[in-house]
Amino acid sequence: MPSDNKLPLQLLDRDHSILDFNARVLECATRPDVPLLERLRYLCIVSSNLDEFFEVRAAPHLIAERNNDDRGTYSVDSFKRLASAAHALVAQQYKLYNEQLQPAFLQQGVQIISHGERNAAQRRWVKSYFDREVRPLLVPVGLDPAHPFPQVANKSLNFIVRLSGEDAFGRENEITIVKIPRVLPRFIRLPSTVSGAQMLFVSLSSVIRAHLQEMFVGRKVGQFSQFRVTRHSDLAVDEDDVRNLRTALRQGLEVRHYGQAVRLEVSADCSEHLSQFLLKQFDLPERALYRVQGPVNLARLTQLIDLVDRPALLFPPFQAAWPRQLTQGQSFFERLQQGDVLVHQPFESFDAVLALLREAVADPQVLAIKQTIYRTGADSELMALLREAVRRGKEVTVVVELKARFDEEANINWAEMLESIGAQVVYGVVGLKTHAKMLLITRREGKTLRHYGHLSTGNYNPRTARLYTDLSQFTADPALTGDMEQVFLHIAGQSKLPRLRRLWLAPFHLHRNLVAQIKALGQAAAKGVPGRIVAKMNALTDEALIAALVRAGQQGVRIDLIVRGACMLPAQVPGQTDNIRVRSVIGRFLEHSRIFYFRSGDKEELYLSSADWMNRNMLRRIELAWPVTDPTMRQRVIDECLVPYLFDAQDAWDLGPDGQYRRIKTAGTDGPGAQSALMGRYRQARRVQDA
């Protein structure tokens, strides 16, 4: 990526940037200003994120290591460096869990007690629980020529046991595998009769460990360890070579849990004999082995958050306000005829989206409803409303993205349900994921048909809408809704897309238009016109956009990038990216909105989008960006979604020229972070509404 008289800029590594993001999340678990159960939640989030990282990102590095390949992006060296970084992060997790969180919980009278810490009454209770609830579900598998190593599912809990003595047939097969069913809870609370005033828990693994010997009558348990294997789980389906994508994906889901092994976790005290045996079984190198001082699946500790009934150890409850541009009870159709409405989630309620759909379903003048579905959850009122719309005779078209990673099964089930009742279900365009978030309603008004639309930066998922920051826009603007209609027709009918008036659509216009917009600002800045870019997104990894930003910055454009996760653009490198600042904000809510602000002189433009600045979003997905043209609404987005984050002194991290993130803590600043300030503002709005 050359620039005038300068060496090419070395981009940051994407996979290491993902691990760096998780290190920032983990830091939230160390903060004393974060309630204790929320600190545990951050720890669990990191564990869950690492699971997905290994399931999706690790395989190419591992294959290169196995093939002794030293060329290209994936190599023996890349595997070594990535494994080293991952091991360091995992070590930080368990150090935090053992040295900070467990002692802090103990001070609160909450403890996970091991077998050695239990008194006689507690051991009797655990023994009774094991006999009643656990033992009947366990089937140890002794390994011999007739019983090879069993299939071990992705991320499942298992025990490996080394036995001495002979089995019932006089053989000395020494290795046995005990698979632990997923239906068993990973943590069990002891009743007050044996725990007293304390809130005591036992882990399932410790319950089984304490009673292993009972499962092997006549033999002696020697070495043993819990273990867990992570497998490559990114479904790959050749869409050009399948007749029915839904059927192909369902078949893929059946074997996903048994893909290529990429990581092995064992107890820290697992013997070398057993760990090497497992590595050989899963065909993994030594660096893929993770010895952990605690549960092999920290993500399952989220169960404690529900089991520990201590509201004071959680964030104070936050109830979203009703969108301030809407009046409860007023018809959405009447309101949108007066102008567009912006909703800022989760500070304002996602229920407004459901209310619009309820009104559309109940209104006899509504003839058709079209919607995209990417992640909506397994239990969704929105899908129930679409089903009711079909029952009432409306034309319902739903674009269901079957390939939404780890939501494939839920989406397949929704697609089958909708098809079975007569809805028109479309699976998008071959080779492209439909990631755009759109809802379009067609209503008869007199002798004409009028469109009402909803566009969003986030998913139609009521649960995550309470946890993610997103922006959505309700509109009756014919230019926007007309474009939305054309996009739906294009996806459903594969017809040639006409020229759109407002929307930027990937993979056709979005990437090209963003590069052109950045380039134009740079050219103007080179002529003395002040230029400004502020872009907020989840990830920045597209090299063409990075190159355009670097060039524009060198031409004088001042650039601020608020990138929550992976970012490959090195900021503030002297002589190359001096004009570019990269900031990551990690708070109570997951930052999810995508906002692109451009200003050249006195002219400013602002776009909202479903797309991150990643190659896949720009070229391998159907994504949307749309302009916020109303000056008041545009200023609101700037004031609420950009400015507070640029000056956040509590939850923000800045990327330095060395590629390292450092948390910003301005001396003498005790003010709230951006999210806290917004919660305070909308709590006040809620009080006014309730008054």
**Beta strands 594-600 and 504-506: pairing type?**
unpaired
CA distances from 45 to 23, 65, 93, 567 (A): 11, 28, 11, 20
Please, which pLDDT band fits residue 416 given cuts at 50, 70 and 90?
confident
For 152-161, the pLDDT digits (tens) are 999 999 999 9
583 pLDDT higher than 70: yes
Q: What is the mean pLDDT of residues 100-129?
A: 96
Residue 567 has phi, psi (to 5 degrees) of -140, 125
How far is the C-alpha of 179 from the C-alpha of 217, rounded, in Å? 18
pLDDT of 242: 43
CA distances from 94 to 21, 38, 108 (A): 18, 17, 20
Q: What is the mean pLDDT of residues 636-658?
A: 96
CA distances from 18 to 77, 236, 356, 537 (A): 18, 22, 37, 14
3-state SS of 293-318 is CCCCCHHHHHHHHHHCCCHHHCCCCC
For 169-191, the pLDDT digits (tens) are 666 678 999 999 999 999 999 99
Q: Is the dihedral of CA 180, 181, 185, 188 positive or negative?
A: negative
Q: Is the dihedral of CA 113, 114, 120, 123 positive or negative?
A: positive
Please, which pLDDT band fits residue 1 given cuts at 50, 70 and 90?
very low
130 Cβ partners below 8 Å, 6+ apart? 207, 208, 210, 211
Q: Is the dihedral of CA 403, 409, 411, 414 positive or negative?
A: positive
Ranges 470-479, 492-501, 576-585, 622-631: which has the least confidence: 492-501
How far is the C-alpha of 375 from the C-alpha of 37, rounded, in Å? 27
pTM (two decimals) = 0.92
435 pLDDT higher than 70: yes
Ranges 29-33, 281-285, 426-430: which has the least confidence: 426-430
**In sequence order, which ranges of 430-496 are alpha helices (DSSP H)?**
478-493
For 488-534, the pLDDT digits (tens) are 999 888 878 889 999 999 999 999 999 999 999 999 999 999 999 99
How far is the C-alpha of 376 from the C-alpha of 464, rounded, in Å? 9
* End-to-end Cα spacing for the chain: 58
pLDDT of 684: 86
How far is the C-alpha of 659 from the C-alpha of 416, rounded, in Å? 47
490 Cβ partners below 8 Å, 6+ apart? 496, 497
Q: Which two tokens stand for residue 426?
A: 């479309």
pLDDT of 243: 47
Catalytically annotated residues: 435
For 283-305, the pLDDT digits (tens) are 999 999 999 999 999 999 999 99
Q: Is 559 left (phi over 0), alpha (psi -120 to 50) or beta?
A: beta
CA distances from 569 to 566, 593, 617, 658 (A): 9, 20, 17, 11
CATH 2.60.120.10 correct for 506-690: no
**Separate counts of helices (H) and strands (E) for the chain:** 22, 27
How far is the C-alpha of 331 from the C-alpha of 337, rounded, in Å? 10
Higher pLDDT, 510 or 9: 510
For 71-82, the pLDDT digits (tens) are 778 999 999 999
2 pLDDT higher than 70: no
How far is the C-alpha of 302 from the C-alpha of 275, rounded, in Å? 28
Higher pLDDT, 407 or 671: 671
CB 296 within 8 A of CB 157: yes
Please, which pLDDT band fits residue 308 given cuts at 50, 70 and 90?
very high
Please, which pLDDT band fits residue 5 given cuts at 50, 70 and 90?
very low
pLDDT of 670: 63
pLDDT of 235: 55
275 pLDDT higher than 80: yes
Residue with tokens 């699971």: 51
pLDDT of 211: 95
**Domain 332-498 CATH class label:** alpha beta
Q: Which of 539, 568, 421, 524 is nearest to 10 (CA)?
A: 568
Which strands, in side-by-side order, build the sheet including 220-231?
Answer: 141-142, 175-179, 158-164, 220-231, 261-267, 289-292
pLDDT of 6: 46
Show me where the domains of the chain are located. Answer: 14-313, 332-498, 506-690
For 200-249, the pLDDT digits (tens) are 999 999 999 999 999 998 889 999 999 999 999 875 544 444 445 555 54
pLDDT of 251: 56
Percent of the chain with pLDDT over 90: 77
Higher pLDDT, 242 or 316: 316
**Domain 14-313 CATH class label:** alpha beta
pLDDT of 370: 96
Strand, helix or coil at 271?
Answer: coil
- Of the CA atoms within 13 Å of residue 506, those in its CB half-sphere come to 28
CB 40 within 8 A of CB 101: yes
Q: What is the mean pLDDT of residues 345-367?
A: 96
How far is the C-alpha of 428 from the C-alpha of 419, rounded, in Å? 15
**In sequence order, which ranges of 196-244 are alpha helices (DSSP H)?**
204-210
Instruction: Please tell me if the domain spanning 14-313 has the same topology as the one spanning 506-690.
Output: no
Higher pLDDT, 427 or 357: 357
